[in-house]
Amino acid sequence: MKYYPPFLFLIVVLLIGCQYRTNDNNRIDTKIEITQLQEINEVLWNRIEKNPDSVYLHLNGIDLLLTGDTNQNIFSPRTLHGVTASKHSFNLENLSGAWGKNAYVYFLFYEDVNFDGKKDLGLLNNYGATGNYWYTIWLFNKKENKFIYDDYYSGMPSPIFDTLNKTIQVYYRMGACDETIAFIEKDKLTKRIYTENENTKMGSNCWCITQTLMDTVWKETERKIIYQSLDHLYRYETPVICSGFGLQI
């Protein structure tokens, strides 16, 4: 059984997946089928293998039509056409990224990442063996009524978006005893947890240090020796929230 790490949209719901065909008016005609959320990457990959130039998905209230290129079990997204539940249509071109069949994070998501009440769009850009990953993110601009690429959110490593408490958790790992988790509230860093290596006569220790921002001063609130990565110690015990639903991992 495949294991997918917790992420912003890891909730107990069903997604409606569809087979499709297009006509001259670029309308997507669908045949409804039910897809478990945990299987979303597998379903997408099956469709990519069958026809990488026409990959359809209905995801959390948005219809998406993805095109791309495949090479040695790697799929590179090229364009994305979409229609939201409110009938807003959009086209994204010149996409970047490289998706592998066994990616450990989801290929795409449609959620409110800046907590303004409108859902935004993210496509997996890259991911590595160290556990870091990045998404290319387009925020929905209410005034202009369109999705706009956002460099700030796209630059966040390994983000988890808590849409109920309106907080963001980002994670970056360089290696053993070289990890950082940052907690962001209202675009302000409020807490950070990081590791440091300490070499002693008795051996090497990996210290985990927690700092909290109090007024304008960073204060150390906890320090302890750890034997696991921060990813397993902290991120997996955080409730992952999406659209009002939560799942404790």
Q: Which residues contact 79 (CB under 8 A, 6 or more apart)?
A: 66, 67, 68, 91, 92, 93, 94, 95
Kindly indicate the confidence band of residue 243, based on its pLDDT and cuts at 50, 70 and 90: very low
Reply yes or no on whether the pLDDT at 51 is more than 80: yes
Provide φ and ψ at 154, rounded to 5°. -70, -25
pTM: 0.78
CA distance 228 to 179: 11
Q: Which residue has the higher pLDDT, 119 or 237?
A: 119
Q: Which residue has the higher pLDDT, 3 or 136?
A: 136
Is 79 in a helix, a strand, or coil? strand
Domain ranges of the chain: 14-247
Question: What's the number of CA atoms in the CB half-sphere (13 Å) around residue 12?
Answer: 6
pLDDT digits (tens, 9 = 90+) for 67-126: 999 988 899 999 999 998 888 899 999 999 999 988 888 898 888 999 999 999 999 999
pLDDT digits (tens, 9 = 90+) for 182-209: 999 988 999 999 999 887 666 678 999 9
Average pLDDT over residues 10-16: 29
Helical segments of 155-237, H only:
230-233
CA distance 10 to 245: 9
Provide φ and ψ at 226, rounded to 5°. -125, 160
Residues 9 and 242 sit within 8 Å (Cβ to Cβ) = yes
| CA torsion, ordered 177, 183, 188, 191, to nearest 10 deg | -70
